[in-house]
Structure 1
């Protein structure tokens, strides 16, 4: 499927090669109002809610045969919580995520275990009591970010980054965002943690946003909070031209996510695991438009190229 996608697609980078002389570049940019109109047009409320719930989304993705991060446990009520024993039921390295959390709020990570104690990447110890208190806060809806009175705690094995990506960053887990219209990838970026971002791949906390060419899987441009960079500020490694491992697989997975959940316009978040390769961690029904600044491409132009008429 992917090879067909690449054959039928008109290359869009650099954008100037495809821009008619009488087209204003600003007309190629997808603005927030048009983005919202696309979401209203292509993303039903039921699909948005499915994407919003990480547990429900993972069920839909796995049912479609899409590779996702693993699952240790889902704790969605207090009875399940009472029967859960972290020392018995959790691995040596793990991630706890609120099913309805956003922007990383409420995520707790342990990178190793020594005896009856886990340790965060910072070296902070976590006892079984600490873990249970955090899970209870998640289940109580403390991180849900909406009006839900309760939530579910999704516990997953900790992802070990592909060594090629891990070498770029001092710490943290890089991830990819791929924007799709139906099953057509439109634009992609790699998000790289920095010391300033506290090891998180969060652009608002000064992680690096790096535009990736759909055709080659190579980084073409990188920014930190709007400032162009060519090297990672902490490791000094050159970013421009870096080729993302498993790029064909990344695009193949991203192209399947929206249809699996019922979204026509989506942003798939993908990690590259050391052992399992590309894995879906989340699908966003309201992907942002900052990716256009990072890639120096317009999403509206990309959508025109795959047949969207914006009516």
Structure 2
């Protein structure tokens, strides 16, 4: 896909570039390939954790859950004696409602962004969360308290006070596109593109950066650390892709997004799954999803015999989508 300098394209150009639109994603991908009966396993992060345990897929440690307002006053009973923690809605979406605490001192809590908040602020957050402020459909929810993930050292220069995550789009078990989301000061230390995090397209074969965007605009260096994004490289990339591809076998969802992280001590972990992954990954990669969906459909139509296992599916995807450098890609401009 050619990077367009003005970022404005016509509908016909988008079609030529193979960009998948929202309506087509909803109809041709989600409705067509995701059984409604499988949605709860990914919409509820608690169920996802239990399912991952059955498939021996590592996830961040669960410290506790809070379901009722009366339980909020005792939330500190679930906190680790040392270190930080994360509070998130069990049925949240888009990164909303996630509170990352790096350190606790008395009744003060240090957020990933460097801001100190009070115990009362944490309690208000829990109350809003349980009331359904951040959940899908606004229904009452449960608060999950997890152990804090410590980012791998190789990412230290590419993120601001937060843990980067890796989004992989999986189509019938084949990884078709990936990006890394890097937190910034603007995103409050969260790897959330809508709040100002960076989206870095990742080459499926090499695990290296292709191009990067922030707020849909090309960037070359991290705005807070000054690190050159072209130098970003993900170790254990093959294993991470196989982990993501295995989520298809776990859920039965034909089109999903797998969000992974790399902990400094525990290694690769499954953070969560998404049955309705967003489309900004196309901007981060400078490539459209439609040609890749069609390529997998053609490959599957030619299969004979038993279904391919996750390791084989990863290799097939890497062969089909070997890197095609964008002619004016932000990370490849001289």
Shorter-normalised TM range: 0.7 to 0.9
**Structure 2 equivalent of residue 40 of structure 1:** 31
1:200 maps to which of 176, 187, 190: 190
CA distance in 1, matches of 2:17, 2:190: 33
> 4+ residue runs of structure 1 moved beyond 6 angstroms?
none
2:118 maps to which of 112, 126, 133: 126
**Structure 2 equivalent of residue 10 of structure 1:** none
1:167 maps to which of 132, 157, 168: 157
Task: Give yes or no for contact 1:61–1:261 (8 Å, CA) kept in 2.
Answer: no
Matched, 1:189 2:174: no
Deviation by residue 1:209-237 (Cα, 9 ceiling, x = unmatched): 11000000000111122322221122111
Q: CA RMSD in A?
A: 2.5
More helix by share: 2
Q: Secondary structure at the match of 1:260?
A: helix
Alignment of structure 1 residues 1-311 onto 2, 5 Å: 26=16, 28-36=18-26, 37-77=28-68, 81=71, 85-91=74-80, 92=82, 93-115=84-106, 117-121=108-112, 122-127=114-119, 130-148=121-139, 150-308=140-298
TM-score using structure 1 length:
0.83
TM-score using structure 2 length:
0.78
CA distance in 2, matches of 1:62, 1:140: 28
Deviation by residue 1:163-203 (Cα, 9 ceiling, x = unmatched): 11122123222111100112110000011112222222222
Indicate the larger mover: 62-71 or 24-33: 24-33
Deviation by residue 1:65-103 (Cα, 9 ceiling, x = unmatched): 111111001223457x27x73343311311111111122
CA shift at 1:43, angstroms? 0.5
Structure 1 pair 306–274 and aligned structure 2 pair: CA distance change class (3 A): same
CA distance in 2, matches of 1:100, 1:156: 15
Deviation by residue 1:129-179 (Cα, 9 ceiling, x = unmatched): 55444333322323224142x211111001111111122123222111100
Task: Give yes or no for contact 1:29–1:300 (8 Å, CA) kept in 2.
Answer: yes
Task: Give yes or no for contact 2:111–2:117 (8 Å, CA) kept in 1.
Answer: yes
Task: Give yes or no for contact 1:86–1:131 (8 Å, CA) kept in 2.
Answer: no
Unaligned runs of 5+ in 1: 1-12, 15-23
CA distance in 2, matches of 1:249, 1:310: 23
CA distance in 2, matches of 1:86, 1:118: 13
Structure 1 pair 32–144 and aligned structure 2 pair: CA distance change class (3 A): closer
Q: Secondary structure at the match of 1:85?
A: helix
CA shift at 1:206, angstroms? 2.4
CA distance in 2, matches of 1:191, 1:147: 26
Q: Secondary structure at the match of 1:111?
A: strand
Structure 1 pair 199–41 and aligned structure 2 pair: CA distance change class (3 A): same
**Structure 2 equivalent of residue 9 of structure 1:** none
Indicate the larger mover: 191-200 or 270-279: 191-200
